[in-house]
Chain A
Amino acid sequence: MVSSRSSASPHPYIPATGADRARMLERIGVPDVGALFADLPAAMRDPAIDLPPALPEPDLIALMEEHAGANASPSRPDFLGAGAYRRSIPSITGYLIGRSEFATSYTAYQPEISQGTLQAAFEYQSVVCELTGMDVSNAGLYDVASSTAEACLLAARVTKRRTVALLEPIHPGTAEVVRTYAHGAGLGVDAISSPEEIGDEHACLVAQQPDFLGTIADLEPLAEAAHAVGALFVAVADPFALGLLRPPGDAGADIVTGEGRDLAGPPNYGGPSLGLFAARTKYLRQMPGRIVGRTRELADGNGGGEERTGYVLTLQAREQFIRRERATSNVSTAQALIAVAFTITVQALGPSGMRESAVLCYQRAHDAASRIAALPGYETPDRGPWFQEFLVRGPVPAADLAARLAARGIGAGLDVSARPEPEARDALLFAVTEATPDAHVDALIGALAEIGGEA
């Protein structure tokens, strides 16, 4: 609320009072605040602008609750996945990243008072390397899709080739972002349906694990196919599934990207996300984004000769603020706080919890799928072993099935019936995770049975 009293501060976020302003203006030697804007073109200054009126905090909260209430209920059964999965996030994750020393800081340009951010980023890099089986990780990029696009640009730089290959089924959002970046960089993009289609014109082969339709891929033959033609192999892996699945690094990946958002907190309508980016050491100096390194205090510093351990942003000669138009990427601010959240969740789960959660997710999803497949009129066509997502074909067309579920207060899986894969014909893609309550699965089974009875 903007106060009408000229002597008061204009808003709780702006501390200076009228008396403060008068004193400051006098010291500066100008009559009023408007005079400080004298350089702006006079004819365009202080234009008419139509904004809704200011709200005091209680009214603002009420308005936002109203907006929140206009979304579907957050507690209704919902089986959407397709790139964003509801996970069990430990309470400590949100609590710890809420600490304002983390949340209200910025890029660690002054390492002496940014050790929290830097050490947490080092923890993040360590965790990503362990999960992916890679040598080095950066401190995180925007999201899985832009990370994968950056991986393609890296591959084009190091192979000096001008086309990248995406193995279907890959998330359409990832494919589109790769195309956006590739077009800008003058690179071609081939969507291929078999690794046999890769050739020596390709800078890299990109494959998703599990793939867009939920199937677990055997990455090793893909890596071999890419390497046989001198291309890099880029695995786009779900880090949660890597609690159970073979690390892509072991299978021969040169770069691993992934989406960290699901392990950091609620879906937040898809953002902020967190783009994982890990690679072999030989690509370290080609990597985009911030990288944190471990070092010691300078011997001639003031540490009393202890030379304690600390962390710094490093290998900055790759980055835009040093290298400008010759940088490996333009990335500056990314998703540092989300990387901390991701790290805390993974570390809270620990070695046993990561595996147990992934197994629980697998079991819950397979149990739900087999219950659906047992319903008359339903099938769950698969394309091989799968992790947490499965195709459901029902007695009515896919869009109709989704609409009938919605009418029963259930969010259906994504309609993938337009995809080319034969298993996806007339199908919805359902996700069931370790965080899906039993009652939601029961409600789904009940609703599907009912819909089957109507058809």
Chain B
Amino acid sequence: MRDPGPGVADFGARLSFDRGEPGRRAVDVPSWAAEETPLPDDHLLRDSVRLPELSQGGLVRYYTAMSARNFGIDSGTYPLGSCTMKYNPKVNDTVANLPGLARAHPQAPAEDIQGTLRIQLELALGLGELTGLPNVSFAPAAGAHGELAGVFMVARALEDRGEIETRRRILVPDSAHGTNPATAAMAGFKVTQIPTGADGSLDRATIERELDETVAAVMVTAPNTLGLWENGIEEVAGLIHDAGGYLYGDGANFNAIMGRVRFGDLGFDVVHLNLHKSFSTPHGGGGPGSGPVLCSEELAPYLPTPVVEEGDDGLVRLVAPERSIGRLQQFQGNAAVLIRAYAYMRALGLEGLRAASGQAVLNANYVRALLHGHYDLPYDRPVLHEVVFSGSRQRRELGVRTYDIAKRLIDHGFHPPTVYFPLIVEEALMIEPTESEPPEAIEALVDALISVAEEAESDPDTLHHAPWTAPIGRLDEATAARRPVLRWQEDST
């Protein structure tokens, strides 16, 4: 990944629209040789559409040049906390692209789609085993979509209990992903924030005080966004159930506990998983993902439509649960992502998935041990899949922000960790190495972080203006938001 060099120094200034020439084309469209049907009336049609005109080679070069200005897992270590940037096995893409699977039409009758549905059924069984929650719907397209499903399910169950008017609150920890409170609000609930205790787990006293007949659910990320186990979550589950509420699990961090402990055993009522994280499907620069929702028997009738099940006749079908919240997508979820996740599960088996969670946790603790003392560690206890350091000392004493540290790491060839999240850690640096980084890569990452910490003392200005070697320097985000330019315009260069 390097600057494409002189002559194309301002690569971003010229979009496809500026690179074309009238009359060029990248593909041919066959002409219609038979009898022509008159087109509809002119007032229903458009005159023209303004699009770039590039040759095929020109278009390929343009997008290839763009890709060279991107950093992916295949480019290098990508320790983006909470995102589980593990290696994406290529065989998963190969099998998802098998024509029999890829060309399957979403309206196909069940008997024409048994291969795809059998994959989904076996994946559902596997995820049910791994989570201890045997009822699953693959309808949600991503994690936040899975959350929406789960919270809608809770709302429907409360309607059936006649308690929807009284149970208006959802408790969300202050360390939660922003999607949790946003989701609760989309379902019409009020959010009560629960502080994190000194040990990094939910503050038990607050939970006990807040739990009453106005609480619909508690949304908990397990392990939490500090990379820590929620101590006593199985007891908290009991308290929530005694108070008549449900325990929702954000499974974004499932990679830490695959094969080690099950949400169902702990007392969770409903969870979502992020298959693009734990099950290694490519993140695509922000999707497609897949956020299946899994639940207990009590909530199973409310699962989104469809769910996959095998009939007595041996035919696998998609069906609508009895009291379903309804559909979340026009069709049945991100099927091609499910194929990849299934291939991953089958490639590893239980022993392999346990090895993955074990190594992911070992790697995070290795980061913690090696980096200890170089950055503040507000919650100083053994971690699971990720570790959250803080750059607050560097900020306070040297005027160097975590933002600067992240940018300087780019010059060392790494994608920076997640920064400024969770919100409860000042100047947070959230590092998730995943199991797919070898120790030497972790050591190199830590060495880079230590070198940046030293540079923060000796030469803070170098950090303030980093990165120096990226395809582009720091961008003016304030102006971008104040005077938005959101599309190509003829005069925009």
Contacts and interface: CB of A to CB of B under 8 A. Distances in A.
A363 B234 contact: no
Nearest to B148: A330
A432 to B, nearest CB: 12
Given A11-B348, A104-B282, A333 B436 contact: no
Nearest to B339: A64
A265 B96 CA distance: 12
25 contacts: A10-B359, A14-B355, A38-B382, A47-B132, A55-B346, A75-B99, A102-B70, A104-B73, A107-B285, A110-B406, A110-B416, A113-B70, A115-B472, A121-B285, A131-B49, A142-B329, A180-B304, A220-B43, A266-B102, A309-B13, A321-B177, A334-B142, A336-B284, A363-B34, A434-B29
Interface string B445-488: 00000000000000000000111101111111101110011111
Nearest to B93: A98
A418 interface: no
Contact of B56 (A65, A81, A145, A348): A348
Interface stretch (B202-210, B238-246, B255-263): B255-263
B288 A301 contact: no
A25 B56 CA distance: 53
Nearest to B201: A39
A242 B326 contact: no
B197 interface: no
A199 interface: no
Given A102-B72, A126-B15, A366-B37, 20 more contacts: A34-B358, A44-B262, A64-B339, A67-B101, A104-B73, A117-B286, A123-B16, A145-B329, A177-B326, A242-B46, A245-B46, A268-B101, A271-B333, A272-B288, A293-B480, A324-B191, A330-B148, A347-B51, A351-B50, A411-B108
Given A122-B488, A324-B178, A68 B100 contact: yes
A114 B67 CA distance: 9
Interface stretch (A225-233, A353-361, A442-450): A353-361
B105 A272 contact: no
A70 B118 contact: yes
A370 interface: yes
A39 B382 contact: yes
A362 B366 contact: no
Contact of B32 (A301, A317, A349, A359): A359
Nearest to A246: B46
B480 A112 contact: no
B88 A103 contact: yes
A218 B44 contact: yes
B136 interface: no
> Across chains A and B, which 6 residue pairs bring their CB atoms closest together, nearest first?
A270-B331, A270-B106, A337-B284, A116-B70, A54-B349, A68-B100
Interface in A100-149: 100-117, 119-123, 125-127, 129-131, 136-137, 139-140, 142-146
Contacts of A295: 475-477, 479-480, 485
B492 A294 contact: yes
Contacts of A370: 37
A126 B49 CA distance: 12
A184 B415 CA distance: 38
Contacts of B51: 127, 130, 346-347, 349-351, 354
A45 B181 CA distance: 30
B343 interface: yes
Nearest to B98: A68
Contacts of B231: 39
Contact of B27 (A49, A144, A353, A363): A353
Categorize the interface residue count of chain A.
35 or more
Contacts of B347: 11, 13, 54-55, 57, 60
Contacts of B86: 13
Nearest to B14: A309
Contacts of B31: 356, 360
Interface string A192-221: 000000000000000000000000101010
Contacts of B218: none
B348 A13 contact: yes
A177 B329 contact: yes
Interface string B34-74: 11110111011110111111101001100110111111111
B221 interface: no
A260 B350 CA distance: 37
A362 B34 CA distance: 12
Contact of A242 (B29, B34, B49, B356): B49
Contacts of B44: 216, 218, 245-246, 385
Nearest to A26: B369
Interface string B354-381: 1110110111011011100000000000
Contact of B288 (A25, A72, A242, A271): A271
B45 A244 contact: yes
A394 interface: no
B428 interface: no
A422 to B, nearest CB: 22
Interface residues of B, number: 210
B114 A70 contact: yes
Given A71-B100, A120-B66, A125-B487, A15 B437 contact: yes
Interface string A326-338: 1101111111111
A183 interface: yes
B29 A327 contact: no
A71 B66 contact: no
Which of A45, A84, A174, A270 has most B Cβ within 10 Å?
A270
A21 B49 contact: no
Given A2-B352, A102-B284, A270-B331, A314 B481 contact: yes
B185 A325 contact: yes
A374 interface: no
Given A96-B64, A114-B70, A334-B287, A33 B369 contact: no
A308 B472 contact: yes
A41 to B, nearest CB: 5
A14 B234 CA distance: 31
A129 B488 CA distance: 9
Contacts of A272: 141, 287-288, 334, 336-337
A41 B282 contact: no
Interface string A148-178: 0000010000000000000000010110110
A265 to B, nearest CB: 7
Given A74-B103, A119-B12, A330-B144, A184 B186 contact: yes
B287 A145 contact: no
Given A112-B475, A130-B51, A269-B335, A46 B59 contact: no
B286 A336 contact: yes
Nearest to B283: A106
Given A10-B355, A351-B50, A340 B142 contact: no
B103 to A, nearest CB: 4
Contact of A312 (B40, B352, B475): B475
Given A10-B355, A104-B74, A39 B229 contact: yes
B289 A333 contact: yes
Interface stretch (B122-130, B292-300, B391-399): B122-130
Contacts of B346: 52, 54-55, 60, 63
A303 B20 CA distance: 27
A367 B107 contact: no
A441 B203 CA distance: 66
